[in-house]
């Protein structure tokens, strides 16, 4: 009869590998949750601070473009009647 080798059995090795994989998976899940919280906090800061500024900048740009168009139409008016009409439109808009 041969002596039984000393050490871990196959069942204990499989159980050990399963436990290691389980612990790694839990650690990865915890890390993912921490990172998602950080992304969520950044998104809230972006929404609260930067988005209103971007909207205001867009509104200002649109108003400036409308002003330039009205100014160009006024300058390019061919006669005094057209120019007066453009001036009235311009003053009523701005």
- Segment 31-41, tens digit of pLDDT: 999 999 999 99
Length of the chain: 94
Structure confidence at residue 4 (pLDDT): 63
Q: How confident is the model at residue 25 (pLDDT cuts 50, 70, 90)?
A: very high
- Phi first, then psi: give them for residue 76, nearest 5 degrees: -85, 0
Quote the pLDDT of residue 47. Answer: 83
Residue-wise pLDDT tens digits, 42-62: 999 888 888 888 889 999 999
> Looking at residue 30, what is its pLDDT?
97
Domain residues of the chain, as ranges?
26-92
**Quick one: DSSP state of residue 79?**
S
Mean pLDDT, the chain, integer: 87
Q: How many angstroms separate the CA atoms of 9 and 16, rounded?
A: 11
Q: Which two tokens stand for residue 10?
A: 């196959």
């Amino acid at each position: 009869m041969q002596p039984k080798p000393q050490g871990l059995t196959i069942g204990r090795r499989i159980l050990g590998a399963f436990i290691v994989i389980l612990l790694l998976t839990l650690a990865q899940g915890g890390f993912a949750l921490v990172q998602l919280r950080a992304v969520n906090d950044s998104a809230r800061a972006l929404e609260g601070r930067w988005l209103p500024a971007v909207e205001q900048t867009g509104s200002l740009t649109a108003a400036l473009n409308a002003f330039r168009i009205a100014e160009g139409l006024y300058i390019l008016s061919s006669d005094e009647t057209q120019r007066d009409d453009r001036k009235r439109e311009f003053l009523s808009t701005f």
